[in-house]
Structure 1
């Protein structure tokens, strides 16, 4: 039982690290701007989710696969898929919002709290 838990942590670590390393290589070896790379990651996660590949990766690596931006794209796709099955065509427009609302809200709240605590400064 303990060995299974340790393997879950190891798999999450190396898969998440591999995703981050590949993105870092992409940023350093191409002329793509960070914003475009982020959009590419979200779209890639949605495409992998639509083919059912990303769910298998999440089953294998857990948080190592679900936390990076690829996981966010997959979350958006899953939300849209569910909303379309429940609400039809209008689900296209509402599914992504409902699936990602908690994560986006948490990011906004915690970043605002951090800005109050740490007094951010503009770069020169």
Structure 2
């Protein structure tokens, strides 16, 4: 049942993004920023945590999940280190994912021949 919920929650997040692109003609970078920001805001309001408990990876892998990770890291560090944690918590919580994205992006650029679009 966990797989079904992950599929449903992740699918709904993707559906929202697709609707924003197709019907409202919002550019993809704006949607990406909106998703990360909404993940942070929904986490701060306590709304995204129940979604993560139900959807699992379906809620944590898409971009709102990155915002969720940022917010959780900041909240944890602020509770431990005070105001300084607001500046370091998000980076510390998401460093592994950011490192993996940079590393595998670089690896793919070595394996394949990247070309700029005209």
Aligned partner of 1:113 in structure 2 is 107
**Matched residue, 1:77:** 71
Instruction: Report the equivalent of 2:85.
Output: 91
- The equivalences for 1:1-124 within 5 A come to 7-124=1-118
| C-alpha distance in 1 between matches for 2:36 and 2:110 | 29
> For 2:9 and 2:82, how far apart are their aligned partners in 1?
35
Please give the per-residue CA displacement for 1:28-83, whole angstroms capped at 9, x wherever unaligned. 22242211111111111011111222111111111000000000001100111011
TM-score (norm 2): 0.95
Question: How far apart in 2 are the matches of 1:21 and 1:45?
Answer: 16
The runs of 5 or more residues in structure 1 that have no matched partner are 1-6
Tell me how large the CA RMSD over aligned residues is.
1.0
2: CA distance, partners of 1:116 / 1:21: 33
